[in-house]
Amino acid sequence: MKPILFYAPGACSLASHIALVEAGADFELRLVRLAKAEQRTPDYLQVNPKGRVPALVTERGVLTENPAILAYVAQNWPETGLGPIGDPWAMAEVNAFNSFLCSSVHVAFAHIFRPGRYADGDAAARAMREKSPQSLDDFFVLIEAKLEAGLWIHGDSFSVSDPYLYLFSRWFQRDGMGHPERFPRVRAHMERVHARPATQNALAAEALTGN
């Protein structure tokens, strides 16, 4: 069977989507409309009981969580060089960066987009929305510094971390997220990833326009 990626347009699943296209994988896309709460339908909960995208259905089972899907893509299509296969230290660095994006950067955005996940009430939502832009700026200071070492997040080789960072750099450009103008390397990195044919292919498949 072909792998099936369950995605929502412009959601964090875009990172796994771009990586699969970069890998040259032969896969199918299935749309999950978050605005229609399709992620909580019984059919989708059978795919991913967490009710989130992405989910990648493979012949060995369902994979969820972007860092896991990205590590799988890098290792399952090693010839495309999307990760430092055979170098445990370098692969751990890729996983460390992706875990940071997942557990810190994504969560700071979620405090803005979906505060109700974390606490009830308007006061709590307001407090999270006020705090998170500062947290995001602090995280992007670290990312900006890391990009001093090369064109891509891990230096000279493009890897699965690059589309993952691209996704969050896109979100960071939205109003009220922090101060993206302070991070020129992040911006240039986003534009480099944006220009790649795989990114353009994935954006077109998700019917997304702009940066």
Ligand X SMILES: N[C@@H](CCC(=O)N[C@@H](CS)C(=O)NCC(=O)O)C(=O)O
Binding site for ligand X (CB under 6 A): 11-12, 34, 39, 51-54, 65-66, 102, 114
Cβ contact 15:57 at 8 Å = no
Of 19 and 185, which CB lies nearer to ligand X in the complex structure? 19
Nearest distance in Å: CB 198, ligand X: 19
Nearest distance in Å: CB 73, ligand X: 13
65: left (phi over 0), alpha (psi -120 to 50) or beta: left
| 3-class SS of residue 62 | strand
In one letter, which amino acid is 71? A
Nearest distance in Å: CB 184, ligand X: 26
Of 106 and 154, which CB lies nearer to ligand X in the complex structure? 106
Nearest distance in Å: CB 114, ligand X: 6
Of 158 and 171, which CB lies nearer to ligand X in the complex structure? 171
Of 38 and 144, which CB lies nearer to ligand X in the complex structure? 38
Nearest distance in Å: CB 137, ligand X: 21
Nearest distance in Å: CB 196, ligand X: 21
DSSP assignment of 19-31 equals HHHHTT---EEEE
Of 113 and 152, which CB lies nearer to ligand X in the complex structure? 113
Beta bridge partners of 64: 55
Closest CA relative to residue 206, chosen from 34, 56, 8, 6:
8
Q: What 8-state DSSP symbol labels residue 104?
A: I
Beta bridge partners of 82: none
Backbone dihedral angles phi then psi of residue 31, each to the nearest 5 degrees: -80, 135
Of 37 and 149, which CB lies nearer to ligand X in the complex structure? 37
Whole-number Å distance between alpha carbons of 13 and 38: 15
Show the 3-state SS of 148-170.
HHCCECCECCCCCHHHHHHHHHH
